[in-house]
Amino acid sequence: MTVYYRPIPQELGGCWSLAGGWVRFSQVERLERGRAPAITDQIPEDVLTRLTAPRASLMGLGMDRPRIMGIVNATPDSFSDGGSYAPLAQGQALIAAGADILDIGGESTRPGALQVPVQDEIDRISAVVAGLSGRIPISVDTRKAAVARAGIGLGAAMINDVSGFDFDPDLPDVVAAARLPVCLMHAQGLPDSMQDDPRYDDVVLDVYDALEARITRAEQAGIPRSQIVIDPGIGFGKTQTHNLAILRRLSLYHGLGCPILLGVSRKRFIGSIGKAGHAPDRMPGTLALTLAAVAQGAQIHRVHDVAAIRQGLRLWQAVRDNEGAEEE
């Protein structure tokens, strides 16, 4: 039976640095299906190596501190802000607000969203990617090989596939040929039906296993693990209970040996718990979850409200370092 090890973050001290970053730990939570969790400091050497090895830089960005990925929806129907701004101007504003990366998407993947024709998706993102590439790293949020190829040709430095290479079998080869990093997200089902009745035996471990399989598939296509980011897919085929279970044990996913990207920004369960019906009013809840994820070592945070999240991270840094906020 598979045994999983979740590092338990410590506020002070700790024997080991988690993923070469800012979180330290001395114990792990030992998880097995059908058994109660157990706390131990006995960690197999190969597991400890995966948990502690520093993650490689991506797109010129070190993974030894939290990074902010600003969301640019070049779509008319995003759940949060679709059609409410000019995408190019929004991208410029997010750069000014302190984004480290921009994630540009031309197809909404909100619950209930329908697939967009390839050419429409390319047309939506092209001017935005071309206009912003070269300023900070650009990620193209797409499930489709043709869209990824177009984005790469315009200067994109990363592909963010919410299907984790499940949707388009040609996409792994496109990414491998371009020698670019990719984010592989976990989703159960397609956007138009994924929230109908999501079920898991153990959501935390099932998502881990599914991400491990996606990583293996990417490596077989020629993409090195050092170029792979993983995203547990909060809200993608998951209930509120599923989302919270993953967030409580987020540090488990460091065992996959890849940086963790977290996308919780403005999502519906934040509104349900935080009593915020309108998506733009969910920034405080987004910040709370972001800082909780930072405390578990998550490296990349995909958010709408870059300025607010940047401010929160500056204060977190100031308290943590006891030396004032980082210089930027």
Catalytic residues: 267, 302
Q: Which two tokens stand for residue 129?
A: 């990617």
CA-CA distance, 51 to 256, in Å (whole number)?
8
CA-CA distance, 24 to 9, in Å (whole number)?
6
> Do 21 and 30 contact (CB within 8 A), yes or no?
no
Q: Which residues contact 208 (CB under 8 A, 6 or more apart)?
A: 4, 252, 253, 255, 256
Strands (E), the chain: 4-10, 16-17, 24-31, 38-40, 67-73, 101-105, 138-141, 158-161, 182-185, 228-231, 261-262, 300-303
C-alpha atoms less than 13 angstroms from C-alpha of 139 in its C-beta half-sphere: 28
> Do 148 and 175 contact (CB within 8 A), yes or no?
yes
Find, among 226, 270, 232, the residue nearest to 250 by Cα.
232
Q: Which two tokens stand for residue 297?
A: 């070592």
> Do 291 and 316 contact (CB within 8 A), yes or no?
yes
